[in-house]
Amino acid sequence: MLQDSEGAVKFAVIGGGAWGTALAVAMARSSPVSLYSANSDLVSSIEIHRENRRYLPGVVLKEQIQVTTSLCSALDGADGVVMAVPTKGLRRAIEECETIVKASSAYLITCKGFESRSGSLPFQILESIVPKASYAVLSGPSFAKDVGEKKPTLVSLAAGDRSVSDTFADALFKGGVRTYFNHDVTGVSVGGATKNVIAIAAGMGSALGVGASAVAALVTRGLSEISRLGVALGAERETFMGLSGMGDLSLTCFSDLSRNRRLGHSLGSGRSLLEAEEALGQVAEGVNAANEVKILADRLGVEMPISVAVSKVLTAEISPDEAARQLYARTLRSEFN
């Protein structure tokens, strides 16, 4: 592994949104970091103010963080490449990086969701482009604001090879992010991809005034269907009881900082999807994930009534109120069958 003259591992963070900025700030507490964004106005603003005022206001970026619009400059000498772009832009970002990055570099996948049309999870997108890539997947209950402010954060760091996850674990830990190793890459990825769909449902339920008891039950049943899908895709059921399953789902469904919960709340309040997305002003990964989850559930024969209901609301087939009525009226059954 190539290191600088002082022995520190170098990282390149690809993506200048809230999450990319927060990870750059965390890792820069112990390591050299470059933060890349193609948005020249954003980069100029960060360089001037040493703060990402658009996506992560109030968090100061150390002068040691190189902020750049040059992908070549960001990747120069990087031992670890942190992919912090939305899932829909991940394929293109990897293709651009792969022509520049050195062969020994490891990737850290931090986005959550399914790719449109292919239904691929983020790590599968990477594998399709770079079959022999070394990579780890980061997921768990973690808001960018908390990471940027060095508030205690615990996450899952999944990889087939423990040494790959170790490339990133030390820098994250020194930056305030405690990682727990998990070898179940599929399970960790499925938890992160599907929890956003349930968070939209939780937001809708809250806006409809169904009550805290009903929302808690919805989230619990949501975890059950996430687990069923994950197991059908080859994941281990135990993973969904951990940080990347129950932990991330709880945070996303119950905190008002959650983009997907806020979007669901807007829908439940009577806004159209377009109006809700415009009000949010950021990407809500659950919108795309809902359709992909529905397709996967149909193909695999997995029962996922909450996710399917969210998908139908997003495509305006039914209203949030009708979705709630249909879910509550389902036939009585055993809890765990």
Please say if the pLDDT value at position 175 is more than 90: yes
pLDDT tens-digit series, residues 229-262? 999 999 999 999 999 999 999 999 999 999 999 9
Q: Is residue 337 part of a domain?
A: no
Question: Does residue 31 have a pLDDT over 60?
Answer: yes
Which element (helix H / strand E) includes 184?
A: none
The pLDDT of residue 5 is 40
Instruction: Tally the domains of the chain.
Output: 2
Encode pLDDT of 191-233 as tens digits. 999 999 999 999 999 999 999 999 999 999 999 999 999 999 9
Q: Is 312 a catalytic residue?
A: no
Whether 1 maps to a domain, the answer reads: no
In this structure, the answer to whether residues 157 and 250 fall within a common structural domain is no
Given 10, 112, 195, 294, the catalytic residue? 195
Of 149, 164, 183, the last residue of a domain is: 183
Q: Looking at the structure, tell me whether residues 110 and 207 fall in a common domain.
A: no
pLDDT at 337: 67
Query: How confident is the model over 318-324, as a mean pLDDT?
Result: 97
Q: For residues 155 and 251, state if they share a domain.
A: no
Across the chain, mean pLDDT equals 95
Q: Are the beta carbons of 65 and 35 closer than 8 angstroms? A: yes
- Give the distance, in angstroms, between the CA of residue 19 and the centroid of all CA atoms in the same chain: 9
Q: Is 5 a domain residue?
A: no
In this model, does residue 2 exceed pLDDT 50?
no
Could you tell me the two tokens for 137?
A: 């997947």
Task: Determine the Cα–Cα distance for residues 68 and 47; give it in Å rounded to an integer.
Answer: 9
Instruction: Render pLDDT for 130-156 as a digit per residue (tens, 0 to 9).
Output: 999 999 999 999 999 999 999 999 999
| pLDDT tens digits for range 86-130 | 999 999 999 999 999 988 899 999 999 999 989 999 999 999 999
Strand partners, 180: 156
Residue 53 has pLDDT above 60, yes or no: yes
Going by C-beta distance under 8 Å and a sequence separation of 6 or more, which residues neighbour residue 141? 153, 154, 155, 243, 247, 248, 250, 251, 252
Residues 170 and 221 reside in one and the same domain = no
Q: Give the domain range for residue 280.
A: 193-328
Predicted pLDDT of residue 283: 81
Helices and strands in the chain, H and E counts: 15, 10
User: Are 66 and 207 in the same domain?
Assistant: no
Token pair belonging to 72: 């070549």
On whether residue 240 sits in a domain, the answer given is yes
- pLDDT for 4 equals 46
Tell me, what's the pLDDT at 103? 86
Residue 281, both tokens: 């002003």
Name the percent of the chain lying above pLDDT 70. 98
Instruction: Sort strands 153-158 and 134-139 into parallel, antiparallel or unpaired.
Output: antiparallel
- Residue after which a domain boundary falls, among 183, 203, 224: 183
